[in-house]
Structure 1
Amino acid sequence: MPHTLSMEISLIHASLFLAPLILLPLYLLSWRRRKNPSNGQGRGNNIPSPPALPLLGHLHLLKKPLHRSLAALAARYGGGRDGAGLLLLRFGARPVLLVSSPTIAEECFTVHDVALADRPGLASSRLLTGGDCPSIATASYGPLWRHLRRIATVHALSAHRLSLTTATRDAEARTMARKLWRAAGAGAGAGASVVSVKSTAYEFVVNVIMTMVAGRRMPEDEVLRFKAMTEAALAAAGSANRQDFLPLLRLLDFGRTGKRLAGLAKERHEFGQRLVDEYRRLHRRGVTDETCTSAPRTVMGDLLQQQERSPESYTDVVIRTVCLSLLQAGTDTSASTIEWAIALLLNNPDVLVKAREEIDVVVGMSRLLEERDLTCLPYLRCIIAETLRMYPIAPHLTPHQASCDCIVADGQYVIRQGTMLLIDVYSMQRDPAMWDDPTIFKPERFAVEEDITEGGDKKLKMMPFGMGRRKCPGEGLAWRTVGVALGVMVQCFRWERVGQEKVDMTEGSGFTMPMDVPLMVMCRPREEVDAMLRRI
């Protein structure tokens, strides 16, 4: 899951008087190309596009949050559900295609999957790595990306490896439940505590992945530092997007964004290398001993073994890149999904009651829910699916880029080489032409198993993890992690709003579409499971 675009861009008035002197040649070149289009086959209609400003293109039209701003532009200028499902924009001199048609999105990720598998290679992404190896999500399509993805899949995200780490997720769920229980007074009727759902979920998820990666948990102070580093990197990259599209701002380092990204790149490098060095020091003997089975296998241990056999393919840079990709891509995304799910349940108490009743029947009240129970809890899965529909992990996925011209929609439109693609998952999954009551939280719409799976009727309507060869490889881990955390939260505690009014569901800005107002709730242990909570 990956570093992605968070393009909340504001107009920088102070730079306008210098911009024409430097960017006018680029604008004239792009204007000439638009005046003399050539699709190479003599086919293709003009993709709808709003009026643009010189040099800035459509940057002045973008507001916060970006996903709603783009959806409004698509609806107004013909790219929405009543139009082609395509909207052509220009961020500076870079063409950007917004795809809000499920049919065309599916065509992009099947027929043209290879041609559209590349990444834009934005300057902010390069600065954030500090010349180091790019993350799995942002790596250009090619041998390096295939190598990184294969490593992550084989050593962490395959079905086999996920089954081997089930005990880790169950153990972290017990730790989370125990901590919440103690915070609420350690006993039935002892009162309630005000809990930050995002922080609780984040600590759970980061320790799940950290244990998989390095075989240990993060101390609380390290969790806070890692969380701050990750959020700062996303925020800095987001604010740097104007530099990505306006070279003058990048040249002048407007807002000192380049310097901030360099600092974050150094911090990221040091954190990753510290993980590698620490593991190597603590497991020096066990790393090379393949017969040792007393300790669970870890991603770091596997990769250090591979490094001894093939040091040129498994350098420290590659190892820390894979481990950081797993940690940074998997934590905030899953934690945000858990937060949205709890918020939806609080605003829909009948759904919360039904979910709790299902867990009580299947799991009971004498033991804690475990990952193996998830297959017998279809309504819980429906809740997660409906949460992902309404609040997808990445509302526009990770941006793609066309490596060659592609003709889509039965030859009607041409996607030019070099065009950046944003897939409007948010709008597609709320399209009233495809979903009944799309703005209403209705987990029952996924009650039929086939509607959630790839073979189901809603295959083209749901793609919160992307589609095709650049689909998020951590989907299986996300379903398990979110399922265990949410299930334990519902089973063990009563969740109540702090005030009488409903939870504010306003969406914030960012890759993982966070809640604009972080969710604070009252957490109270359930009397029915008090005896079980005392034993964990």
Structure 2
Amino acid sequence: MADKFGPIFRIRLGTTHQTLVVSSSEIAKECFTTNDKVLATRPKSLASQIIGFNYTILAVAPYGPYLREIRKILFQELLSSSRIELLRPTRESHVRKSIKQTFAHWLKNKDAAAAAVGGGGVTVEMKQWFGRLIMNLTISLIFGEQEVEEEESKVHEGIRRMMELFAEPVVADFFPWLRWLDIGGHEKAMKQTAMEMDSFAQRCIEEHRRKRNSFNAKEEDFMGIMLSLFDGASNQSLPNGYDTDVVIKSTCLSILIGAAETSIVTLTWALCLILNNYNVLERIQDELNTHVGKQRCVEESDLSQLIYLQAVIKETLRLYSPAPLLVPHEAMEDCTIEGYHIQKGTQILFNIAKIHRDPKVWVEPDKFKPERFLTSHKDIDVKGNNFELIPFSSGRRICPGVSLGLQTMQLTLASLFHSFDTRRLSNEPIEMTESSGVTNIKATPLQALLIPRLASNLYG
């Protein structure tokens, strides 16, 4: 549609949604700068109400005092540079644990692997590998270490259902008078999923409060910090009408959904692209050999020197942004965009997939060329400052966990390629079919051959 109608066009979705589609970086810049505040709210939907915890999940919360207060708390208390640095040992330990488990799997199966076509490599399903690692790590950062092993699988499944339900075209959103029919059973599914996720988060709150009362435990995870803010001496206040427990649960789930899902999606596509381009893999490993060597493990302090790996992640986010359409915005009042009068209530969709492959900005836009971020586009970042590349959005609604997500993804890929020589199962390229939905996770499994490349004592 963007090819046919141009970089800005309007469509109507049902009887309720007048929708503007933006498909160029220049118009996106106008939206996120000149009109940033006007477009800072979200359209209401059945999913936002039910699985968005009555619009308290940050990604779907309307713009106003509540959103501003919670984002301020996030940036000051939970996602500040000092807090991210404080949690570095947790990230490193989880990544090393996954590497250690994979090495143990190789040890157990190395004889069979040596006789196989893979020449000593064990086959690992990498979508699951990334999923387990990132989910374990993220739950640990948010809810505490003790919850990880027991809850990881069910929570990951719940998040996937939430993302799928957010993406469902629910009839009631387009024709509200048909809501009572619950065509497709979406409302029932949303209520069930919301109940399961709420139950998990409530158990975590109760466990945190029990430990604080019993042991005077030091609060290090995100939920513990929020409980200290709202239950402790500081007694952080909320705008009228908001329940403290609901806000704590929804905020923690907001971070979990945003951090875990986008990281898993990006890591999966990055590995696909790298395995289809062995020259990129060789250059990553050369960089690791130079700056880390083979006598120790990768540490987060090494990441600033891994410039090429950073370029690989940027190029992955360009080609396979976790959300090909950003979460919709809504105009809070009449405004002008690209000279057009936009009415209050109009929904704005940012066509990221098109913006990131604009041939006027990107030479050979459909090709995987990380080198572009070392030369022609070396000054472009993904933190909302350059509108040619906005995988995490920009302006007032930019994802608050960008820095934490990038750190985690860089450490995971660096550790994987430093520890294992990673290969395709055959000479055929990795299949690249995307799934539909809010996030574009790879539709099919991702199997790879992993062969240890370090001394065995480094996997301990």
TM-score when normalising by structure 2: 0.91
Describe the superposition over 1:496-535 as per-residue Cα deviations: whole angstroms up to 9, x where unpaired. 2223310111221122211122312222222xx033434x
- The equivalent of 2:223 in structure 1 is 300
Pairwise mapping of residues 426-441 of structure 1 onto structure 2 (< 5 A)?
Answer: 426-441=353-368
**Over residues 378-402 of structure 1, what are the superposed CA-to-partner deviations in whole Å (9 max), with x where a residue is unaligned?**
0010000100010112111111000
Match of 1:120 in 2: 43
1:176 pairs, out of 98, 120, 124, with: 98
1:149-169 deviation line (CA, Å, top 9, x unaligned): 122222221111111111111
- Greater Cα shift, 310-319 or 349-358: 310-319
201-210 vs 387-396, which deviates more? 201-210
- Offset at residue 376 of structure 1 (A): 0.7
- In structure 1, the gaps of 5 or more residues are 1-72, 80-84, 290-294
**2:78 aligned with 1:149:** no
- Aligned pair 1:381/2:310, yes or no? yes
Q: Which residue of 2 aligns with 1:264?
A: 193
Correspondence list, 1:288-367, <5 A: 297-306=220-229, 307-309=231-233, 310=235, 313=238, 315-367=244-296
Point out where structure 2 has 5 or more consecutive residues left out of the alignment.
114-119
The one-letter amino acid of 2:67's match is: W
Paired amino acid for 1:530: A
Partner AA of 2:395 in structure 1: G
Matched, 1:281 2:210: yes
Q: What does residue 448 of structure 2 align with? A: 521
Distance in 2, matches of 1:188 and 1:525, equals: 10
For residues 431 and 80 of structure 2, the distance between their equivalents in structure 1, rounded to whole angstroms, comes to: 37
Structure number with bigger Rg = 1
What is aligned with 1:215?
144
1:246-305 per-position Cα deviation (integer Å, ceiling 9, x unaligned)? 325423101221111111111121111111111111232555x7xxxxx57222222222
Counterpart of 1:206 in 2: which secondary structure? helix
- Cα distance in structure 2, aligned partners of 1:397 and 1:317: 25
Q: Secondary structure at the match of 1:89?
A: strand
Aligned to 1:451: 379
Letter in 2 for 1:459: N
> Partners in 2 of 1:217 and 1:380 — Cα distance?
32
Matched, 1:414 2:338: no
User: Which residue type is aligned with residue 104 of structure 1?
Assistant: I
Q: Which residue identity is paired with 1:514?
A: I
After the TM superposition, which residues 89-104 of structure 1 pair with which residues of structure 2 at under 5 Å, given as runs? 89-93=11-15, 94-104=17-27
Instruction: Number of aligned residue pairs: give it.
Output: 445
C-alpha change, 1:315 and 1:418, in structure 2 (3 Å) is same
- Give the letter for the 1:356 counterpart: Q
- Larger mean CA deviation between 363-372 and 209-218 belongs to 209-218
Decide whether the 8 Å contact of 1:153 with 1:473 is kept in 2: yes
Q: Is the 8 A contact 1:393 1:513 kept in 2?
A: yes
**Matched residue, 2:117:** none
Residue 511 of structure 1 corresponds to which residue in structure 2?
A: 438
Range with bigger deviation, 481-490 or 517-526: 517-526
Q: Residue by residue, what CA displacement relative to the aligned partner does 1:417-456 show, whole Å, maximum 9, x if unpaired?
A: 1111111111111111110111111110001485233799
Does the C-alpha gap of structure 1 residues 454 and 215 become closer, same or farther in structure 2, counting only changes over 3 Å? closer
- Whether the aligned pair in 1 keeps the contact of 2:110 and 2:121 (CA below 8 Å) is no
Q: Who is 2:116 aligned against?
A: none
Deviation of residue 106 (structure 1)?
0.5
Which residue of 2 is the match for residue 31 of structure 1?
none
Question: Partners of 1:352 and 1:403 in 2: how far apart?
Answer: 47
Q: Are 1:463 and 2:385 counterparts? A: no
Which among 65, 68, 89 is matched to residue 167 of structure 1? 89
1:393 maps to 2:322: yes
| Deviates most, 191-200 or 161-170 | 191-200
For 1:204 and 1:368, locate their aligned partners in 2 and report how far apart those are by CA, in whole Å: 17
Give the drift of 1:148.
1.8
Greater CA drift, 365-374 or 143-152: 143-152
- How many angstroms does 1:375 deviate by? 0.3
Contact 2:284 2:309 in 1 (8 A): yes
Gap change, CA 1:168 and 1:452, over 3 Å in 2:
farther
Indicate yes or no: 2:184 matched with 1:255: yes
Does the aligned pair in 1 maintain the 2:392–2:399 contact within 8 Å? yes
Q: Are residue 75 (structure 1) and residue 7 (structure 2) matched?
A: no
Indicate the larger mover: 420-429 or 305-314.
305-314
Q: 1:130 to 1:154 in 2, by over 3 A?
A: closer
Deviations 1:193-242 (A, max 9, x none): 32221221122222222222233154445211011111112222322533
> CA 1:408/1:311 → structure 2, altered by over 3 Å: closer, same or farther?
closer
SS in 2 for 1:273: helix
Corresponding residue SS for 1:87 = strand
Pairwise mapping of residues 12-91 of structure 1 onto structure 2 (< 5 A)? 73-76=1-4, 78-79=5-6, 85-91=7-13
Give the SS at the match of 2:19.
Answer: strand
Instruction: Supply the distance in 1 between the matched residues of 2:288 and 2:438 (Cα, whole angstroms).
Output: 32
Distance 1:476 1:353, change over 3 A: same
Q: Mark the CA change 1:217 to 1:177 in structure 2 (over 3 Å): closer, same or farther.
A: farther
**2:300 pairs with 1:371:** yes
Of 396, 405, 412 in structure 2, the residue corresponding to residue 485 of structure 1 is: 412
Paired residue secondary structure (2:423): strand
Query: Contact (CA 8 Å) 1:207, 1:217: kept in 2 or not?
Result: no
> Does the 8 A contact of 1:100 with 1:423 survive in 2?
yes
Between 276-285 and 185-194, report the one with greater CA deviation: 185-194
Secondary structure at 1:451's aligned position in 2? coil
1:366 positional shift: 1.2
1:127-171 superposed Cα distances (whole Å, 9 cap, x missing partner): 22454x620111000011112212222222111111111111111
Give secondary structure in 1 for the equivalent of 2:107.
coil
1:226 matched to 2:155? The reply is: yes
DSSP 3-state at the match of 1:152: helix
Please give the alpha-carbon distance, in whole angstroms, between the structure 1 residues aligned to 2:365 and 2:171.
Answer: 33
CA RMSD of aligned residues (A): 2.2
- CA distance, structure 2, for counterparts of residue 217 and residue 198 of structure 1: 24
Counterpart AA for 1:101 = S
TM-score by length of 1: 0.79
Shift of 1:187: 8.9
C-alpha offsets along residues 94-148 of structure 1, whole Å, 9 cap, x if unaligned?
11111001111001010111000000011221122454x6201110000111122
Residues 524 and 454 (structure 1), Cα distance of their counterparts in 2 relative to 1, 3 Å cut = closer
Determine the C-alpha separation between the residues in 2 that align with 1:217 and 1:511: 30
